[in-house]
Copies of this chain bind each other. A is one copy, B any other.
């Protein structure tokens, strides 16, 4: 094809691509009137640069730019498919388009080699930048978000190094609070509420994020709740090193196979190369179990129940997402060894109940408990139990936490066996093991489910602050005396609540008006706003406003104040759960016929279907439900649009199987209902 040569001839031999920097070329189509011809937007950026749609919209002054579908490539660039597109096709464009060029790419060393289209083209940075000049590209700082001058945007992402740019950003800014619609651009919305709500900040190492106090406080609440419960089971906390020697890491081949591609390696200390590279734990099975073998010398040493709260590293190369897919994350990992299979399995289920409790009781997130299929279970274990959540906006399932029964696989591998308590004439016994983990991913699920276009909505039981007291109705006509009394009483309310263990705070700043404060605290998701003004003062009351639905409740400042506020918090917590549960319930549908399966999936459901239990059939279901190109839907995560339905779990609570019920996909007899869905 002749067009290919124009750009291609600049390129270097592709054998030189060892240390080339990966570049992505994305094509967006903005929303236009049906009759108008859209102007496609070509984004050329470092693979590692995030290119949020709201930044693209802002820079190009367009509306809702979304990843273009094949039709656009065909009609504009004479290119058959999105996946075949490369820069050569720009030459063939049939009409106007615009090019955005990532500042970070521009700032890359001009002699650096770049790799485009997964290594198809290797080109020097200077040549690529020069080549693109003919399309008059707009240089874009994708890391510089559209921020507001008001402190409400303090949490917004901004390039901290370039102070000169601050003023420019401020000039541009027109928007306070969340500027992306949850229903229209879910990934963009998610990023904004996290950063503007001050839960999290982006960090200069890709895939790593800063957990700010608002989110860390949630994690601390989860820790305390779960830690108390596992300690009652006799689990003790411990801390194993985060470094693993290669030798130990590779000890269980099947197990490590799944983790190997994501292991981060330390090869250097100071200026010295290490003799052997050392891995950072992706999980601690092989770190811990050699010591289990050492410590378990008798059946009296069983059960051994250890847990650690720690960080692990999985260097994923997929698109990172705050909380959901991060290269370093916090979790707990429990590892226990038991004399009998029954005792071990009982614990697996007990822990799964705790996990469901974290989601349902603390985070107000409904989950379905069940068992993973053989294909989806933890590598090296016997079976995996899971609690599965549901994200209504994307219609995707999300794995909440898993509790694995490992059987004797690892204990045989690491040789921890004990004398049979029945006597030495009986065979030695290998311990039965479990491992179970819950991570900060849970916080992301909670945010996605409850929050809205005004910002975060945090369930009261985990919220850093449960109630914010804001003096209102103070005008220039208010007497100094009345102003003082309002502030004083507001502070009294605050301290009364604090003394009753309600996490209250007050916003008495005089440089912001109440309206601004309302928006600011709504952004942060504080469950209750307590407005206190002249009328409240007069009537000895306070006006309580619920974050989730703005419902107002008048509460008297009598002896029952604390109890009443606590009750409002409890009801709000329950309401959040109920609302989320109603959505999950209405989008979990039973489908018995294959021809209804994909439509149900596309209607953002997770699906309970009768299934034969055969792995090949599971794979067939996934492949057959992939949507090759269903058009407009925009997902930051590239893999989403074509994603088929995975098996999420075989729920413990099963609909009754009809007699001779066949599998949804094949002709075999169904043995269980399985829950399928697109997933994170």
Contacts and interface: CB of A to CB of B under 8 A. Distances in A.
A294 B238 contact: no
B237 A151 contact: no
B270 A261 contact: yes
Interface stretch (A64-72, A158-166, A340-348): A158-166
A270 B275 contact: no
Contacts of A95: none
Interface in A218-272: 219-220, 236-245, 247-248, 260-272
A560 interface: no
A261 B271 contact: yes
A330 B239 contact: yes
Interface residues of A, number: 75
A453 interface: no
Given A210-B239, A239-B211, A270-B262, A291 B160 contact: yes
A241 B328 contact: yes
Contacts of A291: 160, 201, 210
Contacts of A240: 203, 210-211
Given A275-B21, A277-B268, A509 B262 contact: no
A6 interface: no
B216 A270 contact: no
A415 interface: yes
A204 interface: yes
**Is chain A's binding surface mostly helix, strand, loop or mixed?**
mixed
Interface in A497-515: 509, 511
Contacts of A301: 151, 154
Given A151-B298, A158-B294, A241-B328, A269 B275 contact: no
Contact of A265 (B209, B247, B268, B295): B268
A509 B421 CA distance: 14
Interface in A313-340: 315, 317, 327-328, 330
Contacts of A155: 295
B209 A238 contact: no
A290 B328 CA distance: 20
Contacts of A265: 266-269
Contact of A260 (B151, B270, B294, B306): B270
A220 B237 contact: yes
Interface in A134-170: 151, 154-155, 158, 160-161, 163
Contacts of A464: 236
A212 interface: yes
A631 interface: no
5 contacts: A201-B291, A210-B240, A219-B239, A265-B266, A269-B317
